[in-house]
Amino acid sequence: MPHYCTLIPGDGIGPEVAQAAVRAVDATGIDICWRRAELNEAIILEAGKTLPKYLLDSLNETRVGLKGPVTTPVAGGFQSVNVQLRKTLDLFANVRPVKSLPGIKTRFADLTIDMVIFRENTEDLYSGLEQEVVKDVVTGLKVITRAASERIARYAFQYAAKNGRKQVAAIHKANIMKLADGLFLRCCREVSEQFTHIKYKELIVDNASMQLVVRPETFDVLLLPNLYGDIISDLAAGLVGGLGIVPGANMGENHAVFEAVHGSAPDIAGQNKANPTAMMLSAVMMLAHFGEADASYRLQAAIESVYREGKHVTGDVGGAATTEEFTDAVVRNLKS
């Protein structure tokens, strides 16, 4: 039986990296039925809404999506495509593995960085509850609930247990936001008591930021509320080479959307220069979600092999290869 996936190429470099990922997934030999659903800035402006009905219908049918970068129009009060997707489909867990790739020159090239970030995806300051109390005085509500905090904590600990991870670190600012972050922290502690074989620790977010830069190799699983998770996940991506090589997944009870978290880079769109690694590694996560562990492993290994050889990597990581040349190299590794 084939697996079904809604493919959302996006705009800018999105269609190029999406096509590269499709080629790589197809080369694993796994039967994927791709259902292409176009979404870009022009479509959003024409439809007058962020998520057209046909897109949601497709995602509700396939339950799985692979998404490229989509530009949200600046004018017109449109909500972020990603935020709207997460709220509409209740994609409560944002999951970002951050792992060193061979051959990429960073200041941490002599270290092995291998962490997974779990960010609560539905509340906190991203609830969008803002108001102008009086002229030039604005308030925003930070919403933290027990239900959402327990759910993301349990998801992170279950992942750690299933994948042999040794430690979960809850990141917070409960020393200042004693009620909101205090509740998040209490939920993490309570869930941790159900997983006594996994080491649990807590770090204040500013200290965690410093520790990530000073000794990133000491982190394993990170568990964060929405805002801190957004910031820390991009910081962590910078440790291994940038957003162009880091995958992402938005997981819910009934849906999963895997995405490259980088922007649409319109300045290089259509020039065959884009790095499709983040999109391909997101597809690695998608294959694992489908239960295709062998194909997931083989695609990950093929990507790492191309980086190890260093002959067909793109300009953003120090090479000179085109998008197509990088993809060809990954496909060759898979078929060999």
CA angle 13/294/62 to nearest 5° reads 55
Q: With left for phi above 0 and alpha for psi between -120 and 50, is residue 29 left, alpha or beta?
A: left
Locate tokens 């291994």: which residue?
240
Set 67, 126, 155, 273: catalytic member: 126
Helix (H/G/I), strand (E/B), else coil: 165: coil
CB of 44 closer than 8 Å to CB of 78? yes
**Torsional sign, CA 217, 222, 225, 226:** positive
CB of 41 closer than 8 Å to CB of 72? yes
Q: With left for phi above 0 and alpha for psi between -120 and 50, is residue 113 left, alpha or beta?
A: beta
Torsion angles phi and psi, residue 313, rounded to 5: -100, 155
Q: Residue 294 catalytic?
A: no
CB of 113 closer than 8 Å to CB of 100? yes
Q: Residue 316 catalytic?
A: no
Q: Residue 206 catalytic?
A: yes
Q: Residue 11 catalytic?
A: no
Set 124, 173, 181, 228: catalytic member: 173
Set 230, 273, 307, 316: catalytic member: 230
d(CA 247, CA 262): 9
Q: How many CB atoms lie within 10 A of CB 196?
A: 8
Set 31, 54, 57, 206: catalytic member: 206
Strands 199-204 and 221-224: what pairing?
unpaired
CB of 107 closer than 8 Å to CB of 215? no
Helices (H), the chain: 14-27, 41-47, 53-62, 81-88, 146-162, 180-192, 205-214, 226-240, 277-289, 293-309, 323-335
Strands 93-99 and 64-67: what pairing?
unpaired
d(CA 27, CA 8): 20
Q: Name the residues annotated as catalytic.
A: 126, 173, 206, 230
